[in-house]
Structure formats: C-alpha cells, structure tokens
C-alpha cells in the first residue's frame, strides 16, 4: 500500500509540474546545475567570458554552473549539442560570429541558428589585430604585403577554424591587398596563438584579448588594428583605415542563446542576470584590460542583430565564393 501511495504521489507531482504556468517555473529557476557550452577549446576569449559568467551566476543563484568546452567541426559539434538539449534553461550556448557565418557557409548544418535557438543577449565584442611572429622580418603592414607579393603562396595565415570570423577577415584582406596566402585553420584560439608564437604561421587576425600580452612582451608583432580608431592600451598600433584600407573593420562579438522553446520567462531571467554581470564595474574593467567592450542586449535586440549578421555574412561568403567541406 505504501509503495502504491508513493507512486501516486510521484505521478501527481509530475502532473503538477507539467501543468504549472511558465511564470511559476521561472520563479523557481534555477534549481539544479546549469551548463554553459563553449564550442571552442579552453583558453580563448569566449572561454574566459563564459567563466566570468560562471563565477557570478554561481554567486547570485547558488547553483553550480559548469563551463563545458565542446570544440570541433567549426563550432558545429557544440552548437548541435545544445540545439538538441531540453529547452528548460539548464543548457546554454555561447556563440560568436561563426554561428552566423556557418548559416550560409555550411549549407548542410544539422540545425538552424534563427529557428532552433532562443537568443538571450549579445555580451561583448573585441576588435581584431593583424599579427605576425616576432621572427618575421616585417614591421609595417606595407612590408608584409610586399613580402607576400614577392612570395606568392609561400606565406600562410591562421584562423581559429573554417568559417570563423578570423577566416573571413583573412580572405577579405587577401582580396583587398591582392596577395596569395594560404589559410591554415586550427581547432580554437589557443592552438592558433601557439602556432603564431612558434612561427608556424606567418600572420593571423586575432582578438586583442587573445594576443595583447604577447604583443606587449614582443613575442608577437601587431601591424594594424581593424577598428575605426586606435586602442587606448595600444596607441602605437595604426588602424587599417590609417594604413590605406578604407572601411576595413573586423571584430569578434560574443552572445548567449538557449534551445528553442525555452520558456520566455526563463530566457528573461537569464537575460537579466547576464545584463547585471556585464555591467559590474570589475567585469567591465577586466574586459577592458583585455581589449573587450562589455555590451548586454535584450533578447529581441539580439535576435534582430543575428538576422542582420546572417544576411551580412551571406553576402560576404557569396562575393568571396568561399566554401567549406
């Protein structure tokens, strides 16, 4: 009899949970560990940003927050994992430009960025530096271009994976500078930077946050920054615009999404939390020292931004005739 009563009690509890209004579910959220999936290897800007969120979410909500690095497939592996996760707010995904780029560069994706995810917020962005190894005998952008033209097909450039914004930036630079350099993709930021430090690659478009320390110590040379103005922490590095490349700007942005179908109230609660974190003075200061700008947008604003990004990169991919197997 006691066993039967327990079964009926469990069944009743399950029915109550299923029938509970979304607002009631959101009020109790979170009640268990949250997983933030990062579709890159540990060590890059996205990973560091996720771990900042991890620390402050834990302090605020009192529930464990796990950063789960799932690199591979040009971010497809980690992204597909979240697209198939339960839409309950306990599995979240960090995304960057590559998510929008893949939407047009990879026609056979196992998910649709604009249909299979609920946008939460755009979090931050960082401009790109064009860097070369300290061993490469160039110190200015025009010297690098002259060397590449003198040795067509002999120099190469690293990216953090096929279809990444660093990949597209490299291809756009190739076209504008009329040079022939070879793309060498790596499985994330850390291995690409290591390859740069060792001189394995000739150049790379890198996030300021990922190479600033190496530039300051002289292990890597920065030739130009792809922003509208110079960085206050790197005033001696000219912009591409100053170097004759009118309008050439490139940056990496970061955002957070949840599986499609996640209750609006939970999306709103996560959004409120990440907006709070991104406005904390210590967080803003930490990001600024790494060359990152703290943002924080509402879900609808981020959705509109993603639609614009997919359209923008679609035009770039088509114009450059880029393909990824």
CATH for 186: 3.40.190.10
Q: Which residues contact 311 (CB under 8 A, 6 or more apart)?
A: none
CATH assignment at residue 37 = 3.40.190.150
Asked, for residue 283, whether it belongs to a domain, the answer is yes
Q: Which two tokens stand for residue 304?
A: 């509109």
- Give tens-digit pLDDT for 23-68: 555 678 999 999 999 999 898 889 999 999 999 999 999 999 999 9
Asked, for residue 15, whether it belongs to a domain, the answer is no
Full domain range(s) for residue 229: 127-234
* Confidence bin at 215 (pLDDT 50/70/90): very high
Instruction: Give the pairing type, strands 117-133 and 251-259.
Output: antiparallel
Residue-level pLDDT at 209: 83
Structural domains of the chain, count: 2
Residues 132 and 230 in one domain: yes
Residues 140 and 216 in one domain: yes
- Give tens-digit pLDDT for 185-212: 998 888 999 999 999 999 999 988 889 8
78 and 39 in contact (C-beta within 8 Å)?
yes
Residues 154 and 219 in one domain: yes
Name which of 78, 71, 82 is nearest 44 in CA terms.
71
Would you call 210 helix, strand, or coil by DSSP? helix
Instruction: Give the pairing type, strands 203-207 and 182-185.
Output: unpaired
Asked, for residue 245, whether it belongs to a domain, the answer is no
Residues 274 and 309 in one domain: yes
- Give tens-digit pLDDT for 226-258: 998 888 778 899 999 999 998 888 899 999 999
Residues 225 and 283 in one domain: no
Residues 257 and 111 in one domain: yes
Residues 314 and 226 in one domain: no
pTM confidence score: 0.82
Higher pLDDT, 43 or 261: 261
Residues 158 and 122 in one domain: no
Residues 136 and 101 in one domain: no
Asked, for residue 216, whether it belongs to a domain, the answer is yes
> Is 4 a residue whose pLDDT tops 90?
no
- Give tens-digit pLDDT for 98-157: 999 999 888 889 999 999 999 999 999 999 999 999 999 999 999 999 999 999 999 999
* Confidence bin at 17 (pLDDT 50/70/90): very low
| Residue in the structure block whose two tokens are 């959004």 | 271
């Amino acid at each position: 009899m006691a066993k039967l009563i327990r079964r009926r009690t469990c069944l009743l509890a399950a029915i109550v949970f299923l029938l509970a209004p979304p607002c009631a579910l959101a009020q109790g959220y979170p009640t268990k560990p949250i997983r933030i999936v990062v579709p890159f290897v540990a060590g890059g800007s996205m990973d560091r940003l996720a771990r900042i969120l991890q620390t402050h979410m834990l302090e605020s909500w009192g529930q464990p927050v796990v950063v789960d690095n799932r690199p591979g497939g040009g971010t497809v592996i980690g992204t597909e994992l979240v697209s198939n996760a339960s839409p309950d707010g306990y599995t979240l995904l960090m995304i960057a430009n590559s998510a929008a780029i893949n939407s047009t560069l990879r026609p056979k994706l196992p998910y649709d960025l604009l249909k299979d995810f609920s946008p939460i917020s755009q979090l931050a962005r960082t401009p790109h530096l064009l860097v070369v190894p300290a061993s490469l005998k160039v110190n200015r952008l025009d010297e690098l271009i002259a060397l590449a033209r003198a040795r067509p097909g002999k120099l190469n450039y690293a990216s953090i994976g096929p279809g990444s914004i660093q990949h597209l930036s490299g291809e756009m630079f190739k076209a504008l500078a009329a040079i022939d350099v070879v793309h060498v993709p790596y499985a994330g930021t850390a291995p690409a930077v290591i390859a740069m430090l060792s001189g394995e690659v000739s150049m790379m478009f890198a996030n300021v946050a990922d190479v600033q320390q190496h530039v300051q110590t002289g292990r890597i040379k920065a030739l130009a920054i792809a922003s509208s103005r110079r960085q206050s922490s790197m005033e001696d590095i000219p912009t591409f615009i100053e170097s004759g490349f009118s309008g050439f700007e490139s940056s990496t942005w970061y955002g957070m999404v949840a599986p499609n179908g996640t209750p609006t109230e939970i999306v709103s609660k996560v959004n409120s939390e990440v907006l709070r974190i991104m406005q904390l003075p210590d967080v803003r200061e930490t990001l600024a020292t790494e060359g990152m700008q703290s943002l924080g947008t509402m879900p609808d604003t981020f959705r509109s931004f993603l639609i614009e990004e997919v359209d923008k990169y679609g035009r770039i991919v088509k114009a450059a005739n880029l393909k990824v197997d």
